[in-house]
Amino acid sequence: MATAPAVPAGSNTVNPFIVADAAGDLIEFLVAVFDAEDVPEARTLDTDGLILHAELRIGDSTVTVADRKPAWPFTPSLIRVYVDDVEAVLARAEKLGGRIVTRPTDFFGDTLARFQDPASNLWWVYRHDPGAAQDWSGDAEGWSETEESADWSAFATPELEYLHSSLDEAMSAIRDTRAAG
């Protein structure tokens, strides 16, 4: 097994970076939804007044957020977060303008839900159940690299069908907010 590289305090090997219109509003949203900690000393404004770099601590992870510059493309993020209470996170997200994409659904023993934030980022929200049986081993009940089960529908359930269709619908509906006006 590979060892993890050295990282600065507060960082992990992989740290998401979200670029969004109205980054300040997104930061407030994430602080309220995930009880994230805004790291004020990390906040850097560019000469145009836009946020160039801000950091949020969500659990043991760092998420960096910046404003999208006028010439930058629309790049919504897709982020996976583990939480203790999926329903509470969804309720806070919806109350603050988020859109529920996927209701809480059993996913290999865990609970998975999704929401879209007001900046069009999609959040996979999981509650992990360490006691649940989770089979990713490659047999007919789990993920496999074999030719006969390479198509996920070989082990599809109504729950997996719902997870797939709700994601497909959400991804198909994403539009650049600047282009909408």
pLDDT tens digit sequence for 37-83: 999 999 999 999 999 999 999 999 999 999 999 999 999 999 999 99
What is the C-alpha to C-alpha distance for residues 79 and 61, in angstroms, rounded to an integer? Answer: 12
Dihedral pair phi/psi, residue 46, rounded to 5°: -85, 170
Torsion angle (degrees, nearest 10) of CA 39, 42, 45, 51: -50
- What pLDDT sits at residue 135? 53
Residue 5: inside a domain: no
- What pLDDT sits at residue 141? 47
pLDDT: which is higher, 47 or 6? 47
Residue 133: inside a domain: yes
DSSP letter for 158, please: H
Query: Does residue 112 sit in helix, strand or coil?
Result: strand
Number of structural domains the chain divides into: 1
Residue 7: inside a domain: no
Amino acid at the residue 10: G
Residue 24: inside a domain: yes
**Tokens (6 digits) for 47:** 């000469």
Residue 92: inside a domain: yes
- What pLDDT sits at residue 132? 72
Supply the CATH number for residue 47's domain.
3.10.180.10
Residue 83: inside a domain: yes
Mean pLDDT over 5-34 rounds to: 93
Domain, as residue range, for 87: 17-173
Reported pTM: 0.85
| DSSP secondary structure, 42-96, as one string | EEEE-TTSSEEEEEEEETTEEEEEEEPPTTSPP---EEEEE-S-HHHHHHHHHHT
Residue 59: inside a domain: yes
Residue 2: inside a domain: no
Q: How high does pLDDT run on average in the chain? A: 88
